[in-house]
Structure 1
Amino acid sequence: MTASDMSRPPGRRRPIRVRPRRPYQALVAAGVAVLIAGVLSLAALRPGDAAADTVGAGGYTTTQVGPLPSGCGSISTDPRQWVTANAPSGAVPTNDWWSSILWKRTNCAYGEPLAANPLSFRAQAGGLGFSYTTTPSISGSATGPGEYHFPYREDFVAGVAQLNSSEVKVDGWSDWTVSPYLSDGARSLRATIGKGLPFAFFRTSGGNARIAASGGATPAVWSNSGSWIGYTINGHDYAAYAPSGATWTVSGSTIGSTLAGKDYFSVAVLPTTASSSDADRKSLATAYGKSAYDHVTGTVVSYRYDEAGSTVTTTYKFTTAAMEGGGTGTVAALLPHQWRYLAAGTPLPQTYISPRGSLKVLTGIGSFTTSMRFHGVLPEVPAVADSGGSDAATLQNYLDAEKSDPTRQVSDDTYWTGKGLGRAARLAEIADQTGNTAVRDAALSAIRSKLTDWFTAPSGKTAHVFYYDRNWGTLIGYPASYGSDQELNDHHFHYGYYIAAAATLAKFDPQWASTERYGGMVDLLIRDANNYDRADTRFPYLRDFDIYGGHDWASGHGSFAAGNNQESSSEGMNFDNALIQWGQATGNTAVRDAGIYMYTTQAAAIQDYWFDTKDQIFPSGFPHREVGMVWSDGAAYSTWFSADPAKIQGINLLPVTGGHLYLGHDPDYVLTDYRDMLTNSGTTQPSSWTDIWYEFLALGDGDKALADFRANSGFTSEEGESKAHTFHWVRNLAALGHVDTSVTADSPLSSVFVNNGARTYVASNITSTDRTVHFSDGTTLTVPSGKTVASGANEWSGGSATGGGDGGGTPTPTPTPTGTPWKSTLYPQSDGSVLSSPGTTGTATLASAGGQNHDGTPTNPVTFTAKGVTLKYNNGATAFDLAVDAGTAVANGPQVRISYDRTGDGTWDRVETYHYYATDPQPGYEHYTQTAGLESATGSLGDLDGGTVRIEVWNAIGANPTTLGTGDKSVVTLPYN
C-alpha cells in the first residue's frame, strides 16, 4: 500500500511549473505565544462582531472569500456536528491523531482508525475496536519508494451488549486524550483513550459490558478471578477490570460482565510477549490493576525554558477520577523522545512495540517530566569567511544579482508567497552581515510590501487576504493552496515563512512590527497555527503540534486509514524557529519560549522518527535509514509529489536557515543520509535540489560541500533558495566546521562550532542594548547591540539589526566559581580525573567480579572525582550514559554509584546506587544509562558550594573484566544549572 492509496482527499493541486506540494497536509503548526499583540488582537477578533476586522494598521476579513473546510454532512458550517454538548466550548481541535472522528470526511459514520500507540482503536456500531499490531507491513524497494505500517488489525470490540450506534461523536478532549461516544438511544458507551495510554476507560449505560473477539478468534483466558480477567487474542495479552464485586463470564468468543450494577470498566493491553509465562502476565496485570479504577479524565502539558541553563523542562500531567479506592495514578507508555530525556522515574523492564520503536512504561504516576538541552539558533551562519578575497567578491556578485527581485515568487498563493518571503529574508540577513545595504534594503522592502499587502483587508478584498472563520476558529489565507482552506492543511508550513520574514523585518523596522502597526497580524498567524493561550478560545490550543507525539501533524482532518501524517518536518521546524526569532526581536518571551519548547521537542522527535539516527525506531526489514513522511501507524520513504530520492529525503531539509542547525547535530548521520541519497538516485552528485543537498552536506563535511559547489555551480536553485545564500552557507561552514552540541549558552541566538578541535563561539544580539553571553564551558562573549559576533577559531563581527524589544532580557549571570569552571556534564578521564567537556578518547578497565556477587557494594571500583564544584540544583535527577563493553564475555554486570558532598566537608550528603547493567557477549560499546533504575539512594540533593562529586564504577557480577569508555565516550549529567 502506498501513501497515495490511503484515502487521498479529492482534488489534486493545480499544475504548476515548479515542484508541487502535498495535497493532504496539515494546518497550522507549532507555534505558541505572542502576547505582543494579545490585548489588541483579542479585542479585534471577537466572534460575532462583523466589524471587528482591524488589527493595528492591518486586519482580516470575516466575510467568506473562498472555499471552507469540507467533509460529510454540514461540516463546512458546523464543525461541531459530531461533538456532544459535554465537550469543551470554543474552537474545535484539528490536525490531531484523532481528528477523523470529529471531522468526518471519508467515513461519515465512524471515522478512520485512531493510532494512539501502543493501541489503535476503531469506532463501530457495537463499541470500540482494539488493535495492538506488533508485526509491521513493509513494502517497496531498497532504493526506491517504500514504507512500513503497523496497520489496524482488530483483536476485539469492547462495548455494551446489543449496542447499535449509527455514528460516533466526540464527548470531550484534552491535550492528548479524546472521548468517543456511541449511543443508540437505549444504550451508550463513552470511552477515554489517549496517546501513550495502555488503558481505555469506559462508562456505560443500558446493558452489560461486552468484549467480543473479532475475526472468529477465541479468547484464551489465563486468569479469571474476581473482578478482573486476563485473556489473549491473536497473541496479544489484555486485562479487563470490572468494579469490585463484579465477575466476568466467557462464552465462546465473547467475554461479558454485569459490572455488579455499576457503569464503568477498563481494558488494558499488557507489554508481555509469547515467551511470557502466565505468572508474568498475572503479575503485570495485578500491577496495572492498581490504576485500573483511577480513570484518566484529562491531560495537560506544561513547559519551562531555563535560559541560564539552556534547558527545556516539560511536564506531562494526568488528571484522574478514582471510580473506587483511593487512586494510585495511571500507566503511561513513553515514546523514545520522552524516555531518552526522562528526568526521574524507573520504567518497567517490559516494553511495547510500536511504529515509534519501543515504548517504555511508567506505572502509578500522576505525571512525568523530561529535560532537554536547547542548543540555540541563529538568524544566519556568521560571515566569518566572507570578509575579503575572491570569495567575498563572488558572494557580492551573487547578492547584487538578486537586488531587482529578492523573492523570485513563482505563484501567488499562501505557500509560494511564503517561500518567496523566506528567500528574501535569507538575502537580507547575509547582505546585512556583509555590508551590502542596497541588497539588504531591497529585500526588506520586498518583505514589507508583501506582508503589508497580505495583512490588510479593505472591504471587498478577496485576494492576498486572511479570512477568520468563527465556526472553525481558523485564519485562512486566500489564494489558498494544497488544501490549506478545505482541509486546513499545512498552515504551519505556509505561515512559518511569513512569521520568519516578519522577524527579519522586525529587527530593522521595529515600528512596522509594533502592535500599533502589523505585529498583531503576525500574532494571529501564530495563534492560528498553534495557539499558546489556553484562555483564548478563538483558536484551539496548539492545534498542529502533537503534544505527546512531539511533532506536528500536517493534515487538518487526518482522515486516512494510516491516521494523520507529516512530510516536511523541517518546514515545521521553520515555524518553531520563526517564533524564536520573532519573540526575540520583539521582546516577547512567551512566543520565544513556546517556539523553543516545540523546537527542542520536535528536533528530538525528528532524530528518531524521520531519521532514526540511533537505528532503534524503524522495524527490521525496512531498507531505508530515513523517511520522507511519518504516519500515525508508520512511515514512508516517499512524498506526496515526487518519487525522486533527492526530494524524498530533501523535503525534510528545506528551508536551510540558521534555525536548522539541528540537522547537523550528528555529522556522521549527515554523511550517511547524503550517501543514501546518491545511492538511491544512482548519481554521484545531487540531481535535484542540488543547493539544498550541498547546504546539508556542509553540516557534515563543509570542505567537500564547498568543493562540490565550486565544481558544479551551474545548477538551478530550489525555488526558495538563491546562489548567494548557498555559497554563503557552504563557504562559512567550511571554515566553522561542525555544530558542537557539547556547549550551550544563556542566549537563544547562539551556537558553537568545532573544526579540528578548535571552537568558534557565535552569538547574535538583535536588541537595542549590549549583552554578554555566557557559554557552558566558561567562555563569555560580549555582543554589541545589533551585531553577530564570532570568537575563537574564527574572529568576526558584523550586522546592524537592533530590533525593538529587549530580546527577553539579559539574564543576571551566575557568578563564576573560583577554581575549575564546572558545569553539569562530567566526562570521566582515563587517569581518574573529570572534565566538564569531552576529553581525549580512552578506556578504563573494570576488574572482574571473580564470579562473586557485588551488587550494591563497590568492589575494586574505578573512581572519578570532581572537586570544588559550585552549581545550582535544578530539582531534577542524575543522568548518565556510560559506554561499557565486555567483549565476548558472558554475564558481566557493570554498576555505578554517584555520591555528592555538597560543601566539600567530607560528608556524603547524597549517595545514589543504580542497578547493574547486564552486558551482551558482542564486542562493541553498549550504553549503560540511568534508565537501569535506582537500586538505592540516601540523603538529598541540593546546591553544590565547593562540593565534591564522586563516580564509582565496578563489575557487580561476572568473571571477566569490562572496558569503560572514557574521555568523550561516557558522561554523567548532574541535575544542576
Structure 2
Amino acid sequence: MNRSTRPGRRLFALAAALAAIGAVALAVPTGAGADPIGAGSYTTTRPAGAAGPSGCADIATNPRRWVTANAPAGAVPTNDWWSSLLFKRTECAYSVPLHAHPLAFQPAAGGLGVGYTTTPTVSGTPTTVGEYHYPYSTEFTLGVTGLNSPDVKVDGWTDWTVTPYWSDGTRTLRATVGHGLPFVYAQVTGGNAQLAFGATPTVWSNSGARIGFTVRGHDYVAYAPTGATWTVAGNTVSSTLAGRGYFSVALLPTTSGTPAADRAALADSYGRYAHAHVTGTRVDWRFDQATSTVHATYALATTAREGTERNTVVSLYPHQWKNLSSGTPISQTYVSPRGALRTLVGVGSFGTAIRYSGVLPELPAVATSSGADLATLGGYLDQVATGDPLAGFGNDTYWTGKALGRAARLAEIADQLGRTAQRDLLLNAIRTRLTDWFTASPGETGRVFHYDRAWGTLVGYPASYGSDQELNDHHFHYGYYIAAAATLAKFDPTWARADRYGGMVNLLIRDANGVDRADSMFPFLRDFDIFAGHDWASGHGSFGAGNNQESSSEGMNFASALIQWGLATGNTAVRDAGLFIYTTQAQAIQEYWFDSADQNFPAAFGHRTVGMVWGDGGAYATWFSGEPEMIQGINMLPITGGSLYLGYRPAYVTANWNELVTNNGGPPTVWQDVLWSFQALASPDAALASFRANPNYPPEEGESRAHTFHWLRNLAALGQVDTTVTANTPLYAVFTRGGARTYVASNITGSPVTVTFSDGRTLTVPAGRTATTGAYTWSGGNAGGGTSNPTPSPTPTAGPTPTASPTPTPTGPPTTSNRLYVRSGGALSGTPGGGAGTVTLPAANGNHDGTPNNPVTHRVCGLTGSYQGGGATTFALHVDAGTAVGAGVQARISYDFTGSGSYGRVETYAYFATDPVPGTESYTQAAGVRSTSGSFAAMTGGCVRLEVWNAIGSAPTTLRVDATAAQSPQSTVTIPFTLSG
C-alpha cells in the first residue's frame, strides 16, 4: 500500500474499492530502555509523541484481542489476505471480505458468508484511470442453526490458511479456508450444520451424506459424515451430521450448463477427499546453484475426520501452474481476479521450479569507462557525489531509504570508474546514516527503531505512510536500508558483522520478512503472501476489495537486497529466502501487474498493466497520482542491478511503453529517468537518445542523472537480458545484442571464483570485482590489486575491504598477429580498420603523470603464445592536440597472461608533450619507460590492455584509430610474443 513519492497526493480514484478508516486510539509505550544488538541497539520504549499499531477496542496494546487460545504463540501475522480478521481496524466485530481464490468469504454473526464471483465490474476506459474488481457477493452462509456470535476470532493460521471461530455461548463454528482451497472445512457444536440462502436453492442432487446445489450458476457440493443426511426447508439446508460435528463444502469448477454426468463425476472425485480436512500448509524452498533454479514445495497436511484418505484438492495460480514441476491439473478451471486457476486432485503437495536469471550490484561499465561518455558520466557524478549526498531527503524511514538507495547506486558506479574519493564519500555517508538509525539513545525521538513487544514488529521513527499505526510497507522502506548495507558490506565487512551493525540489518529483515519459523520476536514472512506469490503492503488489509499493493518493484528491491546481503555476510538462509521471494514474485509480477501474456485481465479492462493489485482485482491507479507516468512507473522504481527481471519479456516492455505514450498523449514528462530505464530493457538505443535529447529533465527523487546515464549507455552496449543462459552463481547476468552475448558475473567474496554458464562459457572473477566475458579494467592505478579503505566515520569500523570493482571494456577478437591495431570501440585487433577516425582523450585539468585519469582503454583477449625472450613492447600512437598548449599524452600497457583479470606485467611510459600545431604526432616507446612491474610469461587465453590519457594540460586531445592498411599513419602496439591459434 505504498504511497511512494508524492505524499501530498492521496487516494486517487479508488472510492469504489476502499472502506473509510475511522478514528482510532494510539498505543502506549510497551517497555522501557533500549536493547543492544551487536554495536547497535533499538528502543523498547516508543519515542515520545509517536504512534503505534492501532485499531478497534484495546487492540493497540493487545493484538491477540481477537485470537483464541488455540492460535499459535508468538508474534501475530499481519499484511496477509486475511489480516482484517485479526487486525480489526474498520470492521470491529467480524472482518471485511476475505478474497482467498477461488472462493471469497464474509464473516458475519450467523456464520461464514461464501461467494464466488465470475463476472468482473470494470470502471474507467483503456486510456484513463480505471479498475476491475470481482466484488464479493454472498451466495450462502455456512454456519450453525441459531448461531448469533458477537464477533469472530482467529483460532489458528498456517502458511496460506486461516481458521476463523464463532461462539455465542451455546453454539460454535470453526471453519478453515485458504488460498487455492475449493473447500471450506467446518466443525460445529451446539446445533445443526446449516447453509442459509437468500432464496430457495437449486438442488441438483441430494443423496445420503451429499447434497449438490447451484447458486448464481455456480455448482457446490456439501459433504456430511457417513450416515448423515441433508434436509432442504425453504431457504436453508441443514444436517445433524449424525452427531459427529464436521462437514465440508466444495465449489466445483462447473456451471449450471455442465452436463449432469460431468458434474456428478467431479462431485465423486472431490468427495473422496471431502473429509481429509486441511489442517496445515507449509512452503519449503531450496536453491540449486548448479542449474540456477529455485525449487519450492507447497505441502498440505490433512486430518482424516473419517476414513484413511490423506490427500486433498488444491487450485493453483498462473505463476504456479506455469512453473509446475510435478502433477497434472484437471482440464476444468476456476475464474479468479488473477486469471484461470488450475486444480490438482488427490495430492498432498506440489512443487514449482523457477529459473533464476541473476541480479547484479550494478550494471557493468562496458561503455562508460573511457572517452567522452566517461567524461559525461564523471560530470554527473560530480553533481551528486559531493557534500552530503543524503541532504534534501525527508527524515522518515521511506525517504531515508530513498536517499540511501540513491547513494548506494552512485557508490557502485564511482567504484567501477576508480573514483575512489567519491565512492568513499558516498560510503561514509551511508555508514554514518545507517549507524545513526541503528543506535538508540535514551529519550531519542528521531532516527531510531522501536521494537513493539506486543505486536512483534520493528517500527522506525519518524514513520511514514502508515508504517507505524497500520504496519504498512515495511518491506518497501527497509529494503532500501538492507540494499545500502549490502553495498557497504562489500567495502567495510567489519561494519557488517553481526557483532557490529549487521545484527540491526538482520533485525529489519526479520521484521519485514523473517525467514526463521522459530523466531519468537517476529512472524514468518510477514509481508510476503506465500501462495499468492507476492507481497501485500497494508498491515491490516481492511478494505472491501481486500489487501493491496502498488509498488511491486520496491518489493523486488527488498528481495534483491536479501540476496546481496546474504552473500556479503555469508548468511545462506537470508540469501535463499531472497532468491525464493525474488523468483516467485518476478513470475507473479509478469502475471498480475503486467499480464504480459495477455491472459489474466478482463478483456473489458483494456489496460496492459495495473498500478495496484487488490485482493479482488486491479487498478490502473495509485494512492498518490493519476498521471500515467506514475501509475506505470511505480512498478519500475527503484532501478538497480536487481531490476533486470523487468526485461525478461522485451516485447511486453514495448507494449507497456506504448500504452504509457498513448495514455499520456505523448512521451513521459515526469519520471522520465525511471521510464527510460525500463524502456531500455527492450529498446536501449531509443531510451538513450531520449536522454541525450533532454538532459535537463527533472530526476525522480530517488534517481540521479549519473545512474540513469550509466544504466542507459551501458544497456545500449549490452543489449537485452538473455534468460536462456544461466550461471552457477547468484550474482550474474547475460545480455544479447546483435546475436552476440555478453556474460557478466560479480564476486563480492575475498577469493577468486570461476563462474560456469549453462552454455559452457566460463568466467574467472577476481575477489571483490565484477567481470565481463574475461575483460576487466582496474581504474585509479590499482592494477596490481590492493585494498580500498574508505575514510572511517566517527564510529570505529576498521577492517580490510575488497579492491575497487573492475570495469569491463570492449575487447577485440583473439588474434595470432603480435602487431595490434588500435581500433574504435575499445578494441585492439590483429587487422587494420576500415577508415581512419579519432577518439577523444579528456583534458587532464591537473597533473596525472603516472596515474591513469579518465583513460581511453583498448583491449584484446584470448591470446595464446610464448614470450620472445629478450623482446620488448613497442608502440606507435598518433595523437593530436590541435592548437592547445601544454598537453601531454601518456600510455600504459598491461599483460594478463591467463585472462584471469590479474595483470602480471604493467608498463607505464613517460608522457609525450604534444605541440600546439594541428596534425598528428607519433608517440612511441622511445619516450621512455616511467615504471614497470612484473615479468613476462607465456600467455594462455591472455589479454593485452592499452590505456591512453592526458597526464597534463587543460584541453582534450585525440588519438587516431581505425586506419586501413593503405592509410598511414596507423596507431599500433606490437607485443614480444609468438602467438598461436
TM-score over 0.5 for the pair: yes
Q: Could you list the per-position Cα deviations for residues 157-195 of structure 1 after superposition, in whole angstroms to 9, with x for gaps in the alignment? A: 010000001110000000000000011000010000000
Q: Which residue of 2 aligns with 1:153?
A: 137
Secondary structure, counterpart of 2:716 in structure 1: helix
1:504 aligns with 2:487: yes
Q: Is 1:770–1:783's contact at 8 Å kept on the other side of the alignment?
A: yes
Mean CA deviation greater in 469-478 or 322-331: 322-331
Q: Which residue of 2 aligns with 1:841?
A: none
**CA RMSD, 1 decimal:** 1.8
User: Max radius of gyration: which structure?
Assistant: 2
Q: Which residue of 1 aligns with 2:715?
A: 733
Q: Which residue of 1 aligns with 2:165?
A: 181
Q: Which residue of 1 aligns with 2:858?
A: none
Q: Which residue of 2 aligns with 1:292?
A: 274
Secondary structure, counterpart of 2:656 in structure 1: helix
- Between the aligned partners of 2:158 and 2:495, the Cα distance in structure 1 is 37
Q: Which residue of 1 aligns with 2:248?
A: 266
Q: Which residue of 1 aligns with 2:517?
A: 534
Q: Could you list the per-position Cα deviations for residues 291-337 of structure 1 after superposition, in whole angstroms to 9, with x for gaps in the alignment? A: 10000001010000111110100000011100000014111000000
Q: Is 2:30–2:45's contact at 8 Å kept on the other side of the alignment?
A: no
Q: Which residue of 1 aligns with 2:14?
A: 3
- Between the aligned partners of 1:622 and 1:5, the Cα distance in structure 2 is 16
Deviation at 1:274, TM superposition (A): 3.5
Deviation at 1:7, TM superposition (A): 3.7
Provide closer, same or farther for how the CA distance between residues 805 and 605 of structure 1 changes in structure 2, counting only shifts above 3 A.
Answer: farther
Deviation at 1:560, TM superposition (A): 0.2
1:101 aligns with 2:85: yes
Q: Which residue of 1 aligns with 2:377?
A: 395
1:233 paired residue among 204, 215, 221: 215
Q: Is 1:769–1:806's contact at 8 Å kept on the other side of the alignment?
A: no
- Between the aligned partners of 2:501 and 2:22, the Cα distance in structure 1 is 34
Secondary structure, counterpart of 1:410 in structure 2: coil
User: How many residues align structurally?
Assistant: 769
Deviation at 1:253, TM superposition (A): 1.6
1:168 aligns with 2:179: no
Q: Which residue of 1 aligns with 2:108?
A: 124
Deviation at 1:350, TM superposition (A): 0.3
Mapping for residues 296-335 of structure 1, pairs under 5 Å: 296-335=278-317
Provide closer, same or farther for how the CA distance between residues 265 and 805 of structure 1 changes in structure 2, counting only shifts above 3 A.
Answer: farther
2:645 paired residue among 662, 685, 695: 662
- Between the aligned partners of 1:595 and 1:460, the Cα distance in structure 2 is 35
1:72 paired residue among 49, 56, 59: 56
- Between the aligned partners of 2:675 and 2:720, the Cα distance in structure 1 is 16
1:221 aligns with 2:203: yes
Deviation at 1:11, TM superposition (A): 8.8
- Between the aligned partners of 1:354 and 1:2, the Cα distance in structure 2 is 23
Q: Which residue of 2 aligns with 1:543?
A: 526
Q: Could you list the per-position Cα deviations for residues 856-890 of structure 1 after superposition, in whole angstroms to 9, with x for gaps in the alignment? A: xxxxxxxxxxxxxxxxxxxxxxxxxxxxxxxxxxx
Q: Is 1:767–1:805's contact at 8 Å kept on the other side of the alignment?
A: no
Q: Which residue of 2 aligns with 1:375?
A: 357
Q: Which residue of 1 aligns with 2:192?
A: 208
Q: Which residue of 2 aligns with 1:615?
A: 598
- Between the aligned partners of 2:725 and 2:251, the Cα distance in structure 1 is 42
Deviation at 1:588, TM superposition (A): 1.2
Provide closer, same or farther for how the CA distance between residues 10 and 219 of structure 1 changes in structure 2, counting only shifts above 3 A.
Answer: closer
Mapping for residues 503-522 of structure 1, pairs under 5 Å: 503-522=486-505
Amino acid at match of 1:326: T
Provide closer, same or farther for how the CA distance between residues 710 and 11 of structure 1 changes in structure 2, counting only shifts above 3 A.
Answer: farther
Provide closer, same or farther for how the CA distance between residues 582 and 805 of structure 1 changes in structure 2, counting only shifts above 3 A.
Answer: farther
Secondary structure, counterpart of 1:597 in structure 2: helix
Amino acid at match of 1:157: T
Secondary structure, counterpart of 2:493 in structure 1: coil
Amino acid at match of 2:375: A
- Between the aligned partners of 2:530 and 2:129, the Cα distance in structure 1 is 29
1:584 paired residue among 558, 567, 572: 567
1:433 aligns with 2:416: yes
Secondary structure, counterpart of 1:355 in structure 2: coil
Secondary structure, counterpart of 2:93 in structure 1: coil
- Between the aligned partners of 1:368 and 1:806, the Cα distance in structure 2 is 44
Mapping for residues 293-692 of structure 1, pairs under 5 Å: 293-402=275-384, 403-683=386-666, 685-692=667-674
Amino acid at match of 2:346: G
Q: Is 2:320–2:352's contact at 8 Å kept on the other side of the alignment?
A: yes
- Between the aligned partners of 2:801 and 2:224, the Cα distance in structure 1 is 58
Q: Is 1:239–1:270's contact at 8 Å kept on the other side of the alignment?
A: yes
Q: Where do 5+ consecutive residues of structure 1 fail to align?
A: 13-46, 808-977
Q: Is 1:786–1:802's contact at 8 Å kept on the other side of the alignment?
A: no
Deviation at 1:400, TM superposition (A): 1.2
Q: Is 1:768–1:802's contact at 8 Å kept on the other side of the alignment?
A: no
Amino acid at match of 1:100: S
Q: Is 2:788–2:801's contact at 8 Å kept on the other side of the alignment?
A: no
- Between the aligned partners of 1:802 and 1:313, the Cα distance in structure 2 is 38
- Between the aligned partners of 1:597 and 1:392, the Cα distance in structure 2 is 37
Sequence identity percentage: 64
Q: Is 1:529–1:543's contact at 8 Å kept on the other side of the alignment?
A: yes
Scaled by the length of structure 2, the TM-score of the pair is 0.77
- Between the aligned partners of 1:170 and 1:556, the Cα distance in structure 2 is 16
- Between the aligned partners of 2:613 and 2:467, the Cα distance in structure 1 is 19
Q: Is 2:34–2:442's contact at 8 Å kept on the other side of the alignment?
A: no
Q: Is 1:787–1:797's contact at 8 Å kept on the other side of the alignment?
A: no
Q: Which residue of 1 aligns with 2:885?
A: none
Amino acid at match of 2:76: V
Deviation at 1:252, TM superposition (A): 1.6
Mapping for residues 899-910 of structure 1, pairs under 5 Å: none
Q: Is 1:230–1:239's contact at 8 Å kept on the other side of the alignment?
A: yes
Q: Is 2:533–2:588's contact at 8 Å kept on the other side of the alignment?
A: yes
Q: Is 1:627–1:636's contact at 8 Å kept on the other side of the alignment?
A: yes
Runs of 4+ in 1 over 3 A off after TM superposition: 4-12, 47-52, 794-807
Deviation at 1:675, TM superposition (A): 1.1
Amino acid at match of 1:342: L
Deviation at 1:797, TM superposition (A): 6.6
Deviation at 1:407, TM superposition (A): 2.6
- Between the aligned partners of 1:528 and 1:390, the Cα distance in structure 2 is 46
1:706 aligns with 2:688: yes
- Between the aligned partners of 2:39 and 2:339, the Cα distance in structure 1 is 49
Deviation at 1:281, TM superposition (A): 1.1
Q: Is 2:485–2:565's contact at 8 Å kept on the other side of the alignment?
A: yes
Secondary structure, counterpart of 1:573 in structure 2: helix
1:249 aligns with 2:231: yes
Deviation at 1:409, TM superposition (A): 3.9
Q: Where do 5+ consecutive residues of structure 2 fail to align?
A: 1-11, 24-28, 790-798, 803-981
Deviation at 1:438, TM superposition (A): 1.5
Secondary structure, counterpart of 1:231 in structure 2: strand
Amino acid at match of 2:173: L
Q: Could you list the per-position Cα deviations for residues 544-597 of structure 1 after superposition, in whole angstroms to 9, with x for gaps in the alignment? A: 000000000000000000000000000000000000111111111111111001
Deviation at 1:107, TM superposition (A): 0.9
Secondary structure, counterpart of 2:365 in structure 1: coil
- Between the aligned partners of 2:479 and 2:30, the Cα distance in structure 1 is 28
- Between the aligned partners of 1:749 and 1:392, the Cα distance in structure 2 is 25
Deviation at 1:410, TM superposition (A): 2.2
Provide closer, same or farther for how the CA distance between residues 549 and 797 of structure 1 changes in structure 2, counting only shifts above 3 A.
Answer: farther
Amino acid at match of 2:208: G
- Between the aligned partners of 2:778 and 2:285, the Cα distance in structure 1 is 34
Deviation at 1:408, TM superposition (A): 4.2
Scaled by the length of structure 1, the TM-score of the pair is 0.77
Deviation at 1:218, TM superposition (A): 2.1
